[in-house]
Chain A
């Protein structure tokens, strides 16, 4: 298999600009790899090979003509199949939208194309993004490349994005995150992914799960690549009134490799204290590593975080139900059983309960803001567990048996409620060789510091450079 498939987006863009490699070669290498591996991994729902090659030829001609090139010129990527793509099926991972062809692109799709990125296709996902395991009864559940023998979950809902980037099938992908759906597959697949601040990236043309909790962001093999993608996507969009008019900083320029003097808050109660012992040890070791680079680390407790499960339920369930109400009444049989049931629960949340959830959300956001007034970033495990086999619903943590679903989203969803930027960064492997991730949470619109810490950590560790057995 070509080394081009393991080259970072940052390096690919530089190689294309320096005429060291053609975009056509890069796209062909990735399409070959899709053909070789994706029958088992099932990371794509639709591969747009012909269109990708045509775009690559156009990109190659632009290089030859000496035209001004965008920051991702000639670099392939994948799109979670809830991003609207003009004339290309956008299924949301569902049977209901199996043949839907949008008549316009999502804003981020337009922006990434304008930056020169080339879409390889539409990536598999948990149906309508409503599940943290990344299961899919309609298109097959993606296979986590970190176990060649056992079919393990990738984490969801952006499971195809996680599997494809981990397997070298595409160098970077778009995910979306309503309760952890960028950070969970990033953690379980050994990737770096960032959920930006709510309002940093446009949601226009993205199928919603819950409007007030949905976030759009990149999943890549390094913080540097996330910085590159995020810079091309972020910024005000008149099509999404919740986007901010704040200017977009140069995220790549923020990656100085320096953390000296930064103050890191290590979230112990609720987070580290309820994680599995490998996850706890890995995050504590990462904190020490950053301390060794000159950061200061102190323990922090967020008392209000305990309301997150109830508040999240009160907000997410009725918002999701409101979007799906008509289909639930007319096409219920076409949903997968788990998503249909989860959606129906939202019908029974009252208006008063929804607003109670929104009020609890205000309290939690205030508390996180207060903690970040004294600290630069917060740090926690991304998940309490590693990638379990598909179909497993419970897991042991210490002496307790806990549901897999709740264990996956426990540490991530508080920051969907608060809207703070949060990244998942590889921080080690379990004894079984499965990846683990740590979360870095920053101040609103300070993705630059989150990425700076992630990148500095990746300059002194090699967790993010390892390759999974299925993709070797």
Chain B
């Protein structure tokens, strides 16, 4: 998996901390099952680094 500079690989323990911080109490088995899915999403995005700086997000607040 590719990561951005400074990104650390997630572990079950670090995922547990992140989950707890959001109020999610997950078992070890649930965390172990989630870990590869979270890692896949994270590394997939980290690999996409070349967005031109002028590109704005497609969701923007507009006063109609």
Interface residues of A (CB under 8 A from B): 212, 241, 307, 309-311, 313-314, 317, 328-329, 341-342, 344-345, 347-349, 353, 355-363, 365
**Chain B: how many interface residues by the 8 Å CB criterion?**
26
In the complex, besides A314-B41, A348-B15, A362-B57, 19 extra interface pairs with C-beta distance below 8 angstroms are: A212-B58, A310-B45, A311-B48, A313-B41, A314-B45, A341-B30, A341-B37, A342-B37, A344-B26, A344-B30, A345-B34, A345-B37, A345-B38, A347-B22, A348-B18, A356-B45, A360-B48, A362-B56, A363-B51
Query: Contact mask B1-12 → A, CB, 8 Å, 1/0?
Result: 000000000000
Set of chain B residues within 8 Å of A311, measured between Cβ atoms: 48
Q: Which residue of A lies closest to B49 (CB)?
A: A356
Q: How many residue pairs, one in A and one in B, have C-beta atoms under 8 Å apart?
A: 72
Task: Report Cα–Cα, A365/B59, bound state, in Å.
Answer: 12
Q: Which chain B positions have C-beta within 8 A of A363? A: 51-52, 55
**Does B34 contact A329, Cβ atoms closer than 8 Å?**
no
Asked whether, in the complex, the Cβ of A365 is within 8 Å of the Cβ of B37, the reply is no
- On B, residues with C-beta under 8 Å from A are 15, 18-19, 22-24, 26, 30, 33-34, 37-38, 41-42, 44-45, 47-48, 51-52, 55-59, 64
Closest CB in chain B relative to A420 CB, distance in Å? 13
Taken together as a complex, chains A and B put the C-alpha atoms of A313 and B44 apart, in Å, by 9
Check if A348 sits within 8 Å of B38, measured CB to CB. Answer: yes
Ranked 6 nearest A-B pairs via Cβ: A358-B57, A310-B44, A361-B58, A362-B58, A348-B38, A313-B41
Task: Please give, as numbers and ranges, the residues of chain A lying within 8 Å of B30 by CB-CB distance.
Answer: 341, 344
Q: What are 13 A-B contacts defined by CB distance under 8 Å?
A: A307-B48, A310-B47, A317-B41, A328-B24, A344-B34, A345-B37, A347-B19, A349-B41, A358-B58, A359-B51, A359-B55, A361-B58, A363-B51
